[in-house]
């Protein structure tokens, strides 16, 4: 038993040996079980093949692709503008962030910049979206660990954000809020009031979530020292976002490579210490509060001016390639676009945070129990639409 | 208005219940040794144990019946099933059910049977029909007096009972130590 | 026949002990129907209460405020296709839900709803109850094994380990309460459920307050262990939805599945009844030894009627607050009828309370007494049932090893310590 624990702790990612040669008389040693694709805790259609010793996880293998829609391939047959709504369908929980990343990448390729007013509106909406995404994460994560009630509280409060989106651009989930070069819509009358109302409304709600969970004994036992990953491992695997920051690495693209108007705002990057599930929980909770700070500064400082930059009617970027990444709620969301000078991209490659973060699942759950797999899937905050694209 | 107040429950349809329980015990006992599937055997064994518990109840020994249910049907059989579930049933079902020493087993069973028969035939005067007037309502208290003694005096079986519990304690400690070494 | 029928009313012992088979049978039927009805009601209350905890409305469509939802659910479950997986062990698969259900219902034969309101007063009552309720785990194990599927198997292994471990702490907590029953002149305790309540009456204190805080600690341990024993949140690992889909009953559907649910809820009521009997004075009203006299008796006997009157008032308010559209007319009438029904029951109970206030030996007096006993017993059990819902809405789920750790390393030593301390204090006092 000791040897196998040592073997587990070196964190080697290896393929599972799924073939059991001869069924032994007492087959209590290994159990291969399929978690998913239809399973309440895999957040969609993720299939995790678990190799178990009793309840202990000896190894995992993720089987993905059940939600593959070929988004990247579709891009090659659409003009730059036409492709814009498709990115919303990747991480449908944070559609605004997806749109921001794509628009900024194309803007960079075109060498134009969105006007300041558009930049500020983008920041407000993106940060609202970050809160919405974290709310959904919190609700489902708590549900996975067995606390049903926070899910309904978060959905109640997420509704307020979705209402703002709906009033702004008519859509609640797949918003398609931004256009290449700025924003298509001017803010509606009362936009600022709605956002400020939300700013006043939401902090007590975060306190409410925290009252249910943060110092709950069972919550602490279920999350402390569960799914621990070191900062080094995170960097080696390319893990980003709250997962990376909870492991003690202070890396947030909003500070490290400021885009949009983020360099103008004052906010802090929460960092964890242990890299366990509880730290990731706390990091995201603080991030929600920090997002509120950013929104407050942005909505108070929205400058006057146009909302669209000088963008040609037909978007035809020069030959070249560009990689642009933003800090999506789940981590670094990057777009690599190759242009052959035509109206359609030659190749679009998305670097989705969920997909990359999911790689960490195996080393996070090895040697843990089945219940921890569920907690870790929840804490990684994956969206299968983005993993499979 | 006849409200007869008995100290214990008066038996109802005694012969029916006796033959029903005895028959159930025997049939399920046979199923235990004939079923190929170990889980079926274990479930039959539970039926046997429960039937015997019922017979104890009919003998005005509710405490023994209760302990039979808790310890055997509820405790030991759960562990049995626990272990059986981990065994590869399909393979064990294909195994030969009777191994080479079955003649010895048969001889032992026959010897036991003849012992029972001889005790039944010859031992009538050894075991009188009823030792004492059995009181269902104080059965538990009587057992307590036997095992633990009453009014400050040791009961007839106190020493044996304590020795047996010490033996079990040693066994538990032994089991813990044996498993601890491996880990 | 009539004689046999009336004979029980004058008796002061349960029909099982009074050699009154007719009434024993009637009690069995009443309890079976009553528990089934309680499970149905619990189903509705749980869904509604849970919904209100979670800022939802819960069932609203079938009947006014979803009152008929449990009936609709039951119908649906009965009409559903009954699937037995091809690779399952059909016989065991078929028997498993029955084992759990039988175990849960058999327990009720010894639960005393009043000094004579029980099927039987067994000499080994609490032992019988523990034994039979421990058989319930067999249903879960066999269900998990017979499904021939991995999730149910893991669920079954979890639940058997869990139930066996928590039974130990539970048993020790019960023993410490049983020790308290022996603190009388003869020094002889009792295992009889009725005897336990009567011991509390004689000693003039609920065992939860006896040797404060020893009784309270034993009670808390039992209250925790009983949640684990019935596989409810936060100890609902065997059926942990997010991990094992549905645990041991993943492969079950339709009627068989509903039998599991029926068994689970019946077991919840049963363990709550044990807790009420052992620590909360069973059928006794509050302060039966302090607030004595026929005046107090009369005041407390008004409670059942007033409770129903309160429920009727709530239902009437609900009727009045229903939207005035024609669409809601039928629901409105239905709720009004329901409210009127509750009101009638309230009036009946109040009438019995008034009629039986003077003479306890008359039929009305006997009825009043019986209603009183059952009312206080059911009220105490209902508090536990509400707690079960509250726990489920509030807490996350324990992990398997943590559950085991809590069971063996926390609950067991504490319950052992409480047992020993209770024994020492009992010897010192007597």
Q: Is the dihedral of CA A76, A80, A85, A90 positive or negative?
A: positive
Confidence of residue A6 (pLDDT cuts 50, 70, 90): very low
pLDDT score at C139? 86
C209-226 average pLDDT score: 87
Q: Write out the H or E segment, with its range, that includes residue A384.
A: helix A384-388
The Cα-based distances of B22 to B12, B29, B53, C95 in angstroms read 16, 10, 11, 22
Specify burial of residue C292 (Cβ count, 10 A radius: 0-12, 13-18, 19+): exposed
SS3 sequence, chain C? CHHHHHHHHHCCCCCCCCCCHHHHHHHHHHHHHHHHHHHHHHHHHHHHHHHHHCCCCCCCCCCHHHCCHHHHHHHHHHHCCCCCCCCCCHHHHHHHHHHHHHHHHHHHHHCCCCCCCCCCCCCCHHHHHHHHHHHHHHHHHHHHHHCCCHHHHHHHHHHHHHHHHHHHHHHHHHHHHHHHHCCCCCCCCCCCHHHHHHHHHHHCCCCCCCCCCHHHHHHHHHHHHHHHHCCCCCCCHHHCHHHHCCHHHCCCCHHHHHHHHHHHHHHHHHHHHHHHHHHCCCCCCCCCCCCCCHHHHHHHHCHHHHHHHHHHHHHHHHHHHCCCCHHHHHHHHHHHHHHHHHHHHHHHHHHHHHHCCCCCCCHHHHHHHHHHHHHHHHHHHHHHHHHHHHHHHHCCCCCHHHHHHHHHHHHHHHHHHHHHHHHHHHHHHC
CB A372 within 8 A of CB A227: yes
Q: What is the largest CA-CA distance in chain C?
A: 72
Range in B136-150, C132-146, C189-203 with the lowest mean pLDDT? B136-150
Q: What is the mean pLDDT of chain C?
A: 84
Residue A13 has pLDDT above 50, yes or no: no
Candidate from B86, B91, B183 with C-beta closest to A28: B86
Residue B69 has pLDDT above 90, yes or no: no
Whether C32 maps to a domain, the answer reads yes
Lowest mean pLDDT among A163-172, C196-205, C340-349: C196-205
- The chain A residue lying nearest B92, using CA atoms, is A25
**Which of B12-21, C22-31, C306-315 has the largest mean confidence?**
C306-315
**Closest CB from A1, A23, A28 relative to B91:** A23
**Which is it for the CA torsion A72, A78, A79, A85, positive or negative?**
negative
Of A184-193, B124-133, C88-97, the one with minimum mean pLDDT is B124-133
Q: What architecture does CATH give domain A71-388?
A: Orthogonal Bundle (1.10)
Contacts of C120 in chain B (CB under 8 A): 9
- Say yes or no to pLDDT of B88 above 70: no
C2 band by pLDDT with thresholds 50, 70 and 90: low
Taking only the tens place, the pLDDT of each residue in C265-284 is 888 898 898 899 888 888 88
CB pair distance less than 8 Å for B140 and C188: no
Both tokens assigned to A103: 């628009």
Rounded CA gap, C215 and C221, in Å? 10
Q: Does B39 touch chain C (CB under 8 A)?
A: yes
Section A45-72 average pLDDT: 83
In this predicted structure, the answer to whether residue C3 has a pLDDT above a threshold of 80 is: no
Contacts of A117 (CB under 8 A, 6+ apart): A302, A303, A304, A305, A306, A307
Is pLDDT above 80 for C10?
Answer: no
pLDDT for residue B11 is more than 60: no
For chain A, the average pLDDT equals 84
Preceding amide of C234 cis, omega within 30: yes
At residue B7, does pLDDT exceed 70? no
Q: What percent of chain A has pLDDT over 90?
A: 4
Q: Which residues of B touch A5 (CB under 8 A)?
A: none
Q: Which chains border B (3 or more CB–CB pairs < 8 Å)? A: A, C
CA geometry: angle C113, C119, C124, nearest 5 deg: 90
Cβ within 8 Å, pair A26-B183: no
Residue A143 sits at the chain C interface (C-beta within 8 Å): yes
| CA A370-C155-A42 angle, 5° bins | 45
Distance CA A299, CA A126 (A): 12
* Mean pLDDT (whole number) for A289-310: 87
Q: How far does C236 lie from chain A, in Å, by closest CA?
A: 9
- CB-closest option in B87, B182, B183 to A25: B87
Cα dihedral value C221, C223, C229, C231, nearest 10:
-120
Distance CA A285, CA A270 (A): 9
Query: How far does the CA of residue C49 sit from the closest CA of chain A (Å)?
Result: 12
The alpha carbon of residue A30 is apart from the nearest alpha carbon of chain B, in Å, by 11
| Residues of chain A with C-beta less than 8 angstroms from the C-beta of C396 | 142, 145-147, 213, 216, 218-219, 222
Asked if A26 and B88 come within 8 Å (Cβ–Cβ), the reply is yes
Contact C17 B8 (CB under 8 A): yes
The pLDDT confidence band at residue B51, using thresholds 50, 70 and 90, is: very high
| Res B114 pLDDT > 90 | yes
pLDDT recorded at residue A176: 85
E strand residue ranges, chain A: 31-35, 47-53, 56-63, 178-179, 182-183, 320-328, 331-339, 345-351
Beta bridge partners of B52: none
Residue C363: other Cβ atoms inside 10 A:
14
pLDDT at C181: 83
Per-residue pLDDT band for A1 (boundaries 50, 70, 90) equals very low
Q: Give backbone dihedrals phi and psi of C322, rounded to 5 degrees, phi first.
A: -70, 145
Over residues B52-70, mean pLDDT: 84
Tokens of A178: 């931004």
In b/e form, how buried is each residue of C293-326, taking b as 16+ CB within 10 angstroms? eeeebeebbbbbbebbbebbeebbebbeebeeee
Instruction: Find out whether C180 and C142 touch, Cβ atoms under 8 Å.
Output: no
Q: Which residues contact A93 (CB under 8 A, 6 or more apart)?
A: A132, A133, A136, A137, A329, A383
Mark A141-178 as b/e (b = at least 16 C-beta within 10 Å): bbbbbbbbbbbbbbbebbebbbebbeebbeebebbbbb
Q: How far is A20 from chain B (nearest CA, A)?
A: 14
The tens digit of pLDDT for each residue in A315-367 reads 888 888 889 989 888 888 999 999 888 888 898 999 889 889 888 888 888 88
Q: Are A209 and A153 a contacting pair, CB within 8 Å?
A: yes
Cβ contact (<8 Å) for C131 and B66? yes
Which residues in chain A are classed under CATH 1.10.645.10? 71-388
Q: Name the class of domain B7-96.
A: mainly alpha
Lowest-confidence region among A192-196, C60-64, C166-170: C60-64
Q: Contact at 8 Å (CB) between A309 and A182?
A: yes
Q: Would you list the domain boundaries of chain B?
A: 7-96, 138-183
**Closest CB from B3, B6, B62 relative to C124:** B62
- Token pair for C123: 């000499």
For residue C35, the enclosing domain spans: 1-79
The number of folded domains in chain C is: 1
**Contact C18/B10, CB-based, under 8 Å?**
no
Q: Is the pLDDT of residue A4 over 50?
A: no
pLDDT digits (tens, 9 = 90+) for C284-293: 888 877 777 7
pLDDT band at B130 (very low <50, low <70, confident <90, very high): low
> Which residues from A are below 8 Å from C157, CB to CB?
54
pLDDT given for residue B23 in this prediction: 93
Distances (CA, A) of C117 to A366, C7, C113: 56, 14, 5
Instruction: Give CA–CA dist A322/B63, Å, rounded.
Output: 83
C-alpha C22/C-alpha C1 separation (Å) is 9
Whole-number pLDDT of residue B96: 60
- How would residue A26 be classed by pLDDT, with cut points 50, 70 and 90? very low
The CA distance from C357 to A24, in Å, is 74
Region C80-92: what's the mean pLDDT? 83
Which residues from chain B sit within 8 angstroms of residue A24, using beta carbons? 88
Residue C372, pLDDT > 90, answer: no
**Torsion angle, alpha carbons of A72, A75, A77, A83, to 10:** 150
The percentage of chain B sitting over the pLDDT mark of 70, rounded to a whole number, equals 73
């Amino acid at each position: 038993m000791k040897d196998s624990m040592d073997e587990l702790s070196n964190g080697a990612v290896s393929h599972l040996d799924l073939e059991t040669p001869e069924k032994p008389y007492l087959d209590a040693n290994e159990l291969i079980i399929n978690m998913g694709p239809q399973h309440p805790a895999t957040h969609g259609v993720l299939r995790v093949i678990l190799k178990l010793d009793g309840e202990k996880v000896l190894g995992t293998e993720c089987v993905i692709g059940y939600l593959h829609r070929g988004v990247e391939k579709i891009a090659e047959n659409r003009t730059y503008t036409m492709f814009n709504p498709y990115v919303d369908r990747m991480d449908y929980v944070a559609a605004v962030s997806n749109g921001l990343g794509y628009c900024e990448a194309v803007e960079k390729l075109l060498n134009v910049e969105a006007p300041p007013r558009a930049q500020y509106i983008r920041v407000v909406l993106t940060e609202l979206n970050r809160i919405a995404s974290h709310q959904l994460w919190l609700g489902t994560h708590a549900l996975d660990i067995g606390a049903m009630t926070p899910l309904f509280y978060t959905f109640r409060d997420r509704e307020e954000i979705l209402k703002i989106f709906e009033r702004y651009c008519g859509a609640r989930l797949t918003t398609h809020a931004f256009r290449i070069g700025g924003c298509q819509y001017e803010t509606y009358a009362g936009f600022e009031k709605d956002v400020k109302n939300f700013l006043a409304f939401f902090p007590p709600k975060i306190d409410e979530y925290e009252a249910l969970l943060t110092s709950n004994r069972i919550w602490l036992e279920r999350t402390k020292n569960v799914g621990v990953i070191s900062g080094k491992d995170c960097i080696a695997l390319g893990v980003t976002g709250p997962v990376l920051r909870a492991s003690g690495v202070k890396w947030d693209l909003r500070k490290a490579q400021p885009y949009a108007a983020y360099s103008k705002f004052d906010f802090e990057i929460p960092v964890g210490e242990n890299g366990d599930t509880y730290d990731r929980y706390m990091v995201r909770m603080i991030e929600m509060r920090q997002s509120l700070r950013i929104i407050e500064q942005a909505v108070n400082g929205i400058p006057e001016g146009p909302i669209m930059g000088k963008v040609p009617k037909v978007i035809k970027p020069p030959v070249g390639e560009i990689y642009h990444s933003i800090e999506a709620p789940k981590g670094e969301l990057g777009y690599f676009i190759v242009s052959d000078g035509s109206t359609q991209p030659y190749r679009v490659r998305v670097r989705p945070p969920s997909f990359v973060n999911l790689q960490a699942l195996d080393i996070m759950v090895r040697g843990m129990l089945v219940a921890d797999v569920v907690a870790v899937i929840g804490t990684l905050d994956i969206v299968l639409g983005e993993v499979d694209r | 208005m006849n409200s007869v107040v008995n100290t214990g429950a008066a038996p109802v349809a005694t012969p029916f219940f006796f033959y029903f329980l005895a028959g159930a015990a025997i049939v399920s006992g046979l199923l235990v040794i004939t079923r190929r599937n170990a889980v079926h055997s274990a479930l039959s064994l539970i039926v046997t144990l429960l039937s015997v518990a019922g017979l104890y109840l009919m003998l005005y020994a509710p405490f023994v019946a209760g302990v039979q249910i808790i310890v055997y049907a509820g405790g030991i059989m759960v562990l049995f099933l626990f272990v059986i579930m981990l065994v590869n049933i399909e393979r064990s079902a294909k195994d030969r059910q009777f191994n080479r020493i079955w003649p010895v087993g048969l001889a032992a069973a026959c010897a036991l049977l003849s012992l029972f028969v001889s005790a039944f035939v010859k031992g009538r005067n050894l075991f009188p029909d009823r030792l004492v007037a059995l009181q269902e309502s104080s059965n538990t208290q009587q057992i307590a007096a036997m095992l633990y003694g009453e009014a400050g005096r040791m009961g007839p079986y106190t020493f044996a009972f304590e020795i047996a519990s010490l033996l079990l304690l040693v066994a538990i400690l032994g089991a813990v130590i044996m498993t601890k070494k491996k880990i | 026949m009539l004689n046999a029928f009336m004979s029980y009313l004058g008796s002061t012992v349960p029909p099982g002990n009074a050699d009154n088979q007719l009434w024993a049978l009637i009690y069995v039927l009443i309890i079976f129907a009553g528990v089934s009805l309680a499970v149905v009601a619990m189903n509705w209350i749980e869904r509604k209460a849970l919904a209100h905890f979670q800022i939802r409305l819960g069932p609203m469509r079938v009947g006014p405020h979803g009152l008929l939802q449990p009936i609709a659910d039951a119908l649906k479950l009965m009409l559903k296709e009954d699937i037995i997986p091809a690779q399952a062990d059909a016989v065991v698969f078929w028997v498993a839900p029955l084992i759990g259900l039988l175990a849960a219902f058999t327990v009720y034969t010894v639960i005393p709803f009043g000094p004579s309101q029980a099927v039987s007063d067994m000499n080994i009552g609490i032992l019988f109850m523990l034994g039979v309720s421990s058989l319930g785990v067999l249903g879960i194990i066999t269900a998990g094994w017979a499904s021939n599927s991995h999730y149910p198997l893991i669920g079954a292994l979890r639940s058997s380990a869990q139930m066996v471990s928590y039974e130990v702490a539970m048993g020790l907590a019960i023993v410490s309460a049983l020790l308290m029953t022996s603190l009388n002149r003869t020094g002889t305790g009792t295992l009889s459920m009725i005897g336990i309540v009567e011991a509390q009456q004689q000693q003039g204190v609920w065992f939860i307050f006896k040797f404060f805080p020893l009784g309270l600690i034993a009670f808390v341990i039992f209250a925790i262990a009983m949640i684990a024993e019935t596989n409810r949140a936060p100890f609902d690992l065997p059926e942990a939805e997010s991990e094992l889909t549905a645990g041991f009953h993943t492969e079950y559907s339709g009627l068989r599945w509903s039998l599991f649910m029926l068994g689970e809820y019946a077991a919840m009521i049963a363990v709550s009844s044990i807790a009420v009997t052992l620590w909360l004075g069973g059928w006794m009203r509050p302060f039966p030894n302090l607030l004595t006299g026929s005046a107090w008796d009369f005041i407390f006997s008004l409670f059942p009627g007033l409770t129903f009157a309160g429920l009727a008032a709530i239902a009437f308010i609900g009727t009045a607050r229903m939207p005035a559209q024609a669409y809601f007319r039928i629901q409105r009438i239905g709720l009004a009828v329901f409210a009127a029904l509750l009101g009638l029951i309230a009036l009946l109970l109040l009438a019995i309370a008034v009629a039986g206030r003077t003479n306890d030996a008359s039929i009305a007096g006997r009825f009043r007494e019986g209603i009183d006993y059952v009312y206080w017993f059911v009220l105490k059990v209902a508090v536990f049932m509400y707690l079960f819902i509250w726990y489920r809405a509030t807490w996350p789920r324990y992990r398997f090893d943590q559950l085991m750790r809590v069971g063996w390393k926390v609950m067991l030593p504490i319950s052992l310590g409480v047992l020993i301390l209770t024994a020492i204090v009992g010897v010192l006092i007597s």
